[in-house]
Chain A
């Protein structure tokens, strides 16, 4: 596998379910990101991990819980979501946060539908 991978690619869940999204990067990067992309809205940064430490939590509701066990893996744990949480969830990685020339590489995303 190369680049940034995400699983599952599609997820349908009820409001009472608990599920997790997984992201893995094979680029040797040290920073990983979760974004939410809703229709006709800008990409919304949710969380940032730099060298496994969470450096950004962009006022995300607690029903979203990130986990970064190592620099290559990032999870987003979901519980008691709302229908308005339905969106494309994108994972990205970069060499390191705070680098002026830092370029982010995106995974294919998970299309989440909350019923």
Chain B
């Protein structure tokens, strides 16, 4: 079982729609969860972090965490073509010694 698992996509949504990106993780003791965005040819940049169960909203982005189900998601409302990128889920493992990244989900927003 992969430590952090994401659907590789591509996920294709029309402009203005809600994009839903999902991630599951195997380390039940994980405490910190991050979503990074990576444009083609660029390095990852943090867009959201979440540490407790529930939803966390920041502009058009909402991160959702369910520790019992070991599941974290990212919703992007009113998707724009500029949101087209690979989204990386990252989980800080138990003890905080290592951040494990998923392989990423490619999102394509059609104009």
Contacts and interface: CB of A to CB of B under 8 A. Distances in A.
20 contacts: A40-B103, A41-B103, A42-B100, A42-B103, A43-B44, A45-B98, A45-B99, A56-B98, A90-B44, A97-B97, A98-B96, A98-B97, A100-B51, A100-B96, A101-B49, A102-B32, A102-B92, A103-B34, A106-B44, A108-B43
B74 interface: no
Contact of B32 (A56, A100, A105): A100
Contacts, number: 53
Interface of B: 4, 8, 31-32, 34, 42-46, 49, 51, 88, 92, 95-104
A42 B102 contact: yes
Contact of B8 (A40, A97, A104): A40
Contact of A109 (B43, B51, B96): B43
- The A interface is mostly helix, strand or loop, or mixed, namely loop
B9 to A, nearest CB: 11
A99 interface: yes
Interface of A: 40-43, 45, 48, 55-56, 90, 97-109
Given A41-B103, A42-B102, A103 B97 contact: no
Contacts of A41: 103
Contact of A55 (B4, B45, B97, B101): B97
